[in-house]
Chain A
């Protein structure tokens, strides 16, 4: 289980004439996500989604609050927690000078997998995502769709318990988006916990068990899509979001 407890993240930005201004990207964020659940994190640009997911993935430290994953905290169990996770963003860039096979092999090695297991998992993922034709090609030579498949395979190689997906379908065509959405559905069936941030409210409505609506770094509502629609007396999450923002 992922437990986020009163997370806040403060940044300092420079405004005119070298003046510094502090602002919170995230403030007083608390929630839990359990196995077999897809938890959507929705909000406009600047809502604090990426910062929140970076904190949960352990690549940023919160200014206050804590993230507890399977009763472990980053402070003293960073490597143990990261072994259970996979992180994928719409901006994820892969090493261009290596082949897809080398990428998957390297990722498996970082996650401490045995050589034999890496080889069999690569074989499995190659078949699953139909990557045979470009498995040994350097990533620089691949199409966007092929890169996306390699990216997803990279996340699946070590069979993580938790997925942190930050706008993974952003900028992708329908086919590439479908590959990711299918992966999410399948991993949910495998009882994995998935944190999924997106701009696309309709997409979230279809795939998420619960949804967190974020605005200006704060949670404005949390619940299942049905609950949110009911509470806001709207017919979809988009309208629900606007209704909540107007009420603020």
Chain B
């Protein structure tokens, strides 16, 4: 135990005095508020009322009714004499779409694949349907038929409910991913330096001549990495909650959704992320121990930093998974924290994540203790 403590002290001193490691511990969490606020801002702008009025060419005169209907939509009509002049106006980008009326038939010319065209197509369709309904009502009334019997058989009204929002979930997920990314990058940086780095610097051989067991060395190194990830975890979790609280109170898109900011949510988030730190520290030190050099360790650990982005993409795709996802490391941590932030606390899921992480960590530590006795690992370079 004494030797483990000496090793922890030695390694922490090395991490704290290494500018690169310190930068990694502080820099990654700083991305949380930057990206969360930036993303919320982008989505907020997307959701704001659009005042754009689209110009549409027509080859006929609008009557008063049609003018009234069209004014309800974001359309401005421009009268052209012929179909040819409409075509030319469209080619010169003077209008977004055009309508050609031949007798009682309206031909709508529009590129629905373009951004403006998709909106204009919907507005023109609404205008024509409304006008068609008007003519239908007029005909019924002229023939003494109560039009309400035909048109108002049912009535409906849209009421906006509070709850899940895909865009808001993506912002929450961004905060979670950057918290996990911060912890991961710190673990990668520290594990690389304390194992492959020590081997490359030539200090490992000296350390092995001390009266200390290799298991004590590796546990000391593991705990030092864990401590550095927990420091990142604290900074990240504070910045994640603060930035989410900020966007909830300042951005339209998060205004209506429920965000769980109470003590139990913070505590559970910390516990889940702590088990993630336990796991990722073990994984990084296990992988980095195999590396012959610092560079090789970095190459071997790079896929981990890519894998942590997977939950973010899955969240964007709104993919649904079964309960088995709770035993897949990284994915399980990300999803369960998302649930906690959204107020959907499922203790059973959280327990599975915690227990599976502890089991994986124990296995990893067992493996690294075994492998650290091997001359192939220690003198591989």
Residues of A within 8 A of B (CB): 57-61, 78-83, 85-87, 89, 91-98, 102, 106-107, 109-112
Measured between alpha carbons, how far is A79 from B205 in the docked complex, in Å?
Answer: 16
A88–B209 Cα distance when bound, in Å, is: 9
Q: A93 contacts B379, CB within 8 Å?
A: no
CB within 8 A of B6: which of A92, A96, A106? A106
**Do A95 and B203 contact each other (CB < 8 Å), given the known contacts A61-B375, A102-B13?**
yes
The complex places the Cα of A57 from the Cα of B211 at a distance, in Å, of 10
Of the A-B pairs whose beta carbons lie under 8 Å apart in the complex, a sample of 20, sorted by A's number, is A58-B209, A59-B208, A59-B378, A60-B375, A60-B379, A79-B211, A81-B211, A82-B210, A86-B209, A87-B206, A93-B201, A95-B14, A97-B14, A98-B10, A98-B17, A106-B6, A110-B6, A110-B210, A111-B210, A112-B2
- How far is the CB of B195 from the nearest CB of chain A, in Å? 15
| B side interface size, CB within 8 A | 23
In the complex, are the beta carbons of B211 and A83 less than 8 A apart? yes
Q: Are B202 and A110 in contact (CB under 8 A)?
A: no
Instruction: Please give the distance in Å from B379's CB to the nearest CB on chain A.
Output: 7
- A86–B206 Cα gap in the complex (Å)? 10
Interface of B is mostly: helix
Complex CA distance for A87 and B211, rounded to whole angstroms: 11
Closest to A106 in B: B10
The CA-CA distance from A58 to B212 in the complex, in Å, is 11
**At the interface, yes or no: B213 with Cβ under 8 Å from chain A?**
yes
Q: How far is B378's CA from A81's CA once the two chains are assembled, in angstroms? A: 20
What is the minimal beta-carbon distance from B22 to any residue of chain A, in angstroms?
12
Question: How far is B12's CA from A102's CA once the two chains are assembled, in angstroms?
Answer: 13
A85 touches B209 (CB 8 A): yes
A3–B206 Cα gap in the complex (Å)? 23
A115 to chain B, nearest CB (A): 12
Check A110 against B211 for contact (C-beta < 8 Å): yes
Give bound CA distance, A111 to B210, whole Å. 7
Most chain B CB atoms below 10 A, which of A59, A60, A102: A59
A92 touches B206 (CB 8 A): yes
B211 touches A59 (CB 8 A): no
B379, A95: Cβ atoms under 8 Å? Answer: no
Quick check: A59 and B210 within 8 Å, CB to CB?
A: no
Query: Which residues on B are within 8 Å of A, measured CB to CB?
Result: 2-3, 6, 9-10, 13-14, 17-18, 201-203, 205-206, 208-213, 375, 378-379
Bound together, the chains give a CA A96 to CA B197 distance in angstroms of 12
- Nearest CB in chain B: distance from A160 CB, A: 10
CB distance from B212 to the nearest CB of A (A): 6
Contact of B203 among A57, A94, A111 (CB under 8 A): A94
Chain A residues near B203 (CB-CB < 8 A): 93-95
Q: A60-B375, A78-B213 are in contact. Are A97 and B17 (CB under 8 A)?
A: yes
Q: Which residues of A contact B3 (CB under 8 A)?
A: 110
Known: A92-B202, A94-B203, A95-B203. A87 touches B209 (CB 8 A): yes
User: Which residue on A lies nearest to B200, using beta carbons?
Assistant: A93
Given contacts A97-B13, A97-B14, A110-B3, contact A91 B211 (CB under 8 A): no
B203 (CB) vs chain A CBs: closest residue: A93
Residue of A58, A94, A98, A110 ringed by the most chain B CB atoms within 10 A: A110
A residues within 8 A CB of B14? 95, 97-98
Question: Would you call B212 and A110 a contact (CB within 8 A)?
Answer: yes
Separation of A57 and B208 alpha carbons in the complex (Å): 9
Known contacts A95-B10, A106-B10, A111-B210; 17 additional CB pairs below 8 A are A59-B205, A81-B211, A82-B209, A83-B211, A86-B209, A89-B205, A91-B202, A93-B203, A93-B206, A94-B203, A95-B14, A97-B17, A97-B18, A102-B13, A106-B9, A109-B6, A112-B211
A112 cross-chain contacts in B, Cβ below 8 A:
2, 211
A82 / chain B contacts, CB cutoff of 8 Å:
209-212
Bound Cα distance from A32 to B206, whole angstroms = 24
Chain B residues near A97 (CB-CB < 8 A): 13-14, 17-18
CA distance A92 to B3 in the complex (A): 21
Q: Which residue of B lies closest to A85 (CB)?
A: B209
What residues on A are CB-neighbors of B205 within 8 Å? 59, 89, 92
Q: How far is the CB of A190 from chain B (nearest CB, A)?
A: 20
